[in-house]
Every structure is written in C-alpha cells, then in structure tokens.
Amino acid sequence: MSVIGAYFRLARVGWVLMREGVVSALPADGMPPLARTGKAIAGLFERRKAARVGRGDNLARAIERLGPSYVKMGQFLATRPDVVGAEIAVELSALQDRMATFPKEAAVATVEGSLGRPLADLYATFDDPIAAASIAQVHPATVRKADGEQRVAVKVIRPGVRQRFGHDLEAMYAAARLQEKILPNTRRLKPVEVTRTLEQTTKVEMDLRLEAAALSELGENTKDDPGFRVPTVDWERTGRDVVTMEWIDGIKMSDVDGLRAAGHDLDRLADTLIQSFLRHTLRDGFFHADMHQGNLFVDPAGVIVAVDMGIVGRLGKKERRFLAEILYGFITRDYQRVADVHFEAGYVPSHHDTASFAQAIRAIGEPIHGQPAETISMAKLLTLLFEVTELFDMETRTELVMLQKTMVVVEGVARTLNPRFNMWKASEGVVGDWIRDNLGPKRLLADLRDGAHAALRLAEAAPEIAAKAEKFSQDLTAMAEKGLRFDAETAEAIGRSEARHSRSGRLALWVIAAVLVYIAWKLT
C-alpha cells in the first residue's frame, strides 16, 4: 500500500506542476519525443493565470501549494545546480520559508512535552511567534537568571512535520527511481542518492538538539575570530523539538540602508563575511551552509552574527586541500595545477587528458582576470565549471556542490553590501595563508604524524584482522568445495518479495491511469 500511496502523491505533484504551468515552461531542447509530447499535453491543463507570469513565480507557487516538505525540497535543490540546472537553481534559491504560523498553544505543548517541565518553570515570558518556516517557528521569550531576566529566541518544531515529510519522501524516492529508469543519461546525477541526502539533512534539521550542537561547535571554532560569532545556546531549555538561544539585537544584512544609517563600514563587512566563511571551510572543515541575508545580523559593535544552523556542511582534509588548490589556482592563473588537482583527487576519470582539461579550465578562468571587480561573478564561474566537468564525466560530489552553492550565496550577500566587491581579492589572503600552512613543510609533518597514528592503530588491530582473514579463507574454501546454496525458505521468501513488488507496481500504474482519465473527463 505504501507503493500505491507514493504513486498517488506523485500524481498529485505532477498535477499541481501542470496546473501552475511549470511543466509547459520547461525548455524542450534535448527532450526525447515522448517527453515533448507530454509537455505539450501538460499545457492543456495549465491555469490561465499561470500563463501570464514567469516560470520562477509559477515554480514557487506550485511548491508552496504542495506544502512544507516540498518547500524544503525546493530549497535543497537550490543547492544542486548540477541536478536541476543553474537557471532553475537560481529560481529555487529565491524560495523562502513563508509558512503560516501554528497556534501558540501547540508550541507550548511541544515545548513542555520535549523538555518535561511546565512552561512557567522554563520561561518568565513566552510570546507569540514572530516567524514561521517549513520545519519550525520562532518565539521571543525571557528567562530568569541570577542577574535578572534575559531575552532569548525559542525555536519550536512544527507539529506533525516529521510524519508528513516521511510520506512525501516516499513520492520523492518514486520520482527519483522513475527518472533513473526513463532517463538513463541522468544517472550520472544520482537522483536517488540526492533524495537520500535530502532525507538525511532534513532528519538532522528536524532534531533541534543537533542544530544546537552545530551552533556550539561553530561558536568554539570562531571564538577568537575577528568580526564574526554565533548565538550561545541555553542547553537547559533545549531538546529534540525545541532549542533556546541568545536573542540577537542587530540589523539584518538585507537592510543595507539600516546598516549604513547605523554607521557600519559596508566594505569591511563584505570582506569579513567572505573571509570568515573561508576560514570556517578551510581551517575547520565545518561551515554554515545557509548563509543568506535573512540568517545574518550585524550587532551594534559591527560583528556579524549568523543564526539558523539547521543546514551545515563538512569537508574532510582531502576536500579542503582540493578546494584551496582550486581557488588558489584560479587566483594565480595556474590552470594546469587546477586540472592536476581534479585528477589527483579522483574527481575526473583518469582516461581523460589533463592538458585538455587544463585548457577547458583556462576558458573558465581567463575571463575573470583583468575585469572590473563588479563583473567578476563566482556564480557564473561555477556554472561554467559544472558544464566543463560534465564534458569530462566528473560525477556529482554532494559536499562540494553544497560548498559551491554557499559560496555563491555569500558572494551575493557581500555584493549587496559592496557592489564593487572582488571576491578573489578578498579571499586571496585567507587562501594563501592556508596554502602556506597546510600544503608546504607543515603538511609533510602533519601527514607523517597522521601516518604514524594510522600505523599504530593498524598494529593494535592486527590480531583481530588476522583472525577475520583466517575465518574468511575457511569460508571461501567451504564455498569452493560445496558451492553457494540458498535454503528452501530463503528462495521462497525472495520469490514472494518479487511477486509482491511486481503486483504493487502494476496496480499503482493502473490506479494512476484511472485517476488521470477521471480528471481529464471532469475538465471536459
């Protein structure tokens, strides 16, 4: 029944996309004949109003009609221009969490249930919500401290959101599997893996203890950084469904006029923002992956404060070295090194020619040099980089795509503060320092130290590895002598499973066909 339900929900998604004009607005270039026919048919079901507005508005309205799960999916896919294309990714990036608030009484019940204490014992005051998103909403509150009352922000999970997301996720998996089956050339983009990543990131985002932990970790990493910080967490009033944190009195970075009127140096803020992001990424391998203007404040001291750590990114040592060398290669115009790094990291298959790849990288990098600062766009560069890597069979790297998307967003915020902002110039010092500290003699010492630790752990595990190897050898010998066999119960279970999936799939397709025929009949 879950398979049938998934296909029903998928049919509803397709219907909403048709009605809002999203399907008929898709570019027909490269579509197979059957897909073009489907696109033409979808235009017959389009609402008249949908034809009079842009595709971006249609897409945003369709996603909002589908509900919180799809708002979250749209925001997630905005981080994957390699999957949906750069143009659609830009449209999705404008999608905001503009959900209706849920009643304060429901929030109080959630807080008390999560923390196991009456609201009066937790907060001196607990006010109505001031903002609501697809997963949670925020309430101003105060808590009693030894030195008086202190203002806090309380983020409360939306009731029922986990159950709804679980149901919608089944439809998303069904769509991903259909895409892999019907459009084999898109398998390189790993749609099922993308859906799995969405599932994991959203489950993490729905556990507010993990957001609190992310705030705490980034706070420790940045405690000595100039011009950047995050709110402190009140762990006593934090649980799975609620997180309480320091209230930030500041000006949103989207309010450029307000920042200017308060006397803040906008050029310095732009530089601090991109340099802070690069420090988090290269030095710590841990970064805020949703640094849009709505999540960034400037306090009265001119310090940037980042909030809403529901989405974070991590990079291993290998990926950090890759990123640093890529950025430094573009900055110094060493395109052969940029190409070599792609091959050394295994991101481009070895059967391709490094010189040809370096030539393609040069075609991307050269236009950014010698240009006025305001025309140098990281977004444009990354769009071209995606096109080139596709030509050279580079598979999707989810951690790098999230990083690249965040870098584009941060650059965009910096440009609103300083229209002549030059990201390359602002980042050169941070990247150069990291290169010198981590890719020179210090790197060799660090690698030797890590290698010694790994060798020590291997030596400690040697007896257990030897025992497992001996057991594996014995099992292989037994298999070679007696063969690999299923018992009757296993074979019967496999047969039942295959038959059940086959029947469910056929039944779901017939049900969807009947629904579509009924809809078409009602509209005639």
Per-domain residue ranges for the chain? 3-98+164-203, 99-163+205-247, 249-439, 486-523
Residue 134 token pair:
């697809």
Average pLDDT over all residues of the chain: 78
Place of tokens 């309480």: 244
Q: Do 429 and 314 meet the contact criterion of CB atoms below 8 Å apart?
A: no
Residue-level length of the chain: 524
Mean pLDDT (whole number) for 499-510 = 55
User: Is the per-residue pLDDT at 51 higher than 80?
Assistant: no
User: Is the per-residue pLDDT at 388 higher than 50?
Assistant: yes
Cα distance between residue 89 and residue 71, in whole Å: 13
CA angle (323, 91, 411) in 5-degree steps: 35
| Sheet containing strand 296-298, strands side by side | 228-229, 304-306, 296-298, 251-252
Cα distance between residue 225 and residue 229, in whole Å: 8
User: Is the per-residue pLDDT at 212 higher than 60?
Assistant: yes
Cα distance between residue 20 and residue 9, in whole Å: 17
Q: Which residue has the higher pLDDT, 360 or 42?
A: 360
- Is there a catalytic annotation at residue 299? no
Any idea which architecture 99-163+205-247 has in CATH? 2-Layer Sandwich (3.30)
How sure is the predictor about 1, in pLDDT bands with cuts at 50, 70 and 90?
very low
CA angle (88, 36, 43) in 5-degree steps: 75
Q: Do 339 and 358 meet the contact criterion of CB atoms below 8 Å apart?
A: yes
Look at residue 101 in the predicted model and tell me its pLDDT.
87
Torsion, Cα of 265, 271, 273, 277 (10° steps): -170
Look at residue 374 in the predicted model and tell me its pLDDT.
57
Mean pLDDT (whole number) for 141-166 = 90
Among 305, 198, 202, residue whose Cα is nearest residue 248: 305
Q: Give the phi and the psi of residue 25 in degrees, each rounded to 5.
A: -90, -5
Which tens digit of pLDDT belongs to each residue from 236-253? 999 999 999 999 999 999
Look at residue 153 in the predicted model and tell me its pLDDT.
96
User: Is the per-residue pLDDT at 103 higher than 90?
Assistant: yes
Look at residue 84 in the predicted model and tell me its pLDDT.
64
Mean pLDDT (whole number) for 375-385 = 62
Q: Which residue has the higher pLDDT, 32 or 436?
A: 436
Mean pLDDT (whole number) for 276-292 = 89
pTM above 0.75, yes or no: no
Instruction: Find the catalytic residue in 82, 168, 241, 290.
Output: 290
Look at residue 71 in the predicted model and tell me its pLDDT.
77
Q: Is 306 helix (H, G, I), strand (E, B) or coil?
A: strand
How sure is the predictor about 438, in pLDDT bands with cuts at 50, 70 and 90?
confident
What is the percentage of the chain residues whose pLDDT exceeds 90?
25
User: Is the per-residue pLDDT at 340 higher than 80?
Assistant: yes
Look at residue 198 in the predicted model and tell me its pLDDT.
76
User: Is the per-residue pLDDT at 294 higher than 60?
Assistant: yes
Look at residue 237 in the predicted model and tell me its pLDDT.
96
Mean pLDDT (whole number) for 76-92 = 66
Cα distance between residue 238 and residue 217, in whole Å: 15
Q: Do 206 and 41 meet the contact criterion of CB atoms below 8 Å apart?
A: no
Look at residue 291 in the predicted model and tell me its pLDDT.
84
CB atoms within 10 A of CB 195: 20
Q: Which residue has the higher pLDDT, 420 or 78?
A: 420
User: Is the per-residue pLDDT at 416 higher than 50?
Assistant: yes
User: Is the per-residue pLDDT at 353 higher than 80?
Assistant: yes
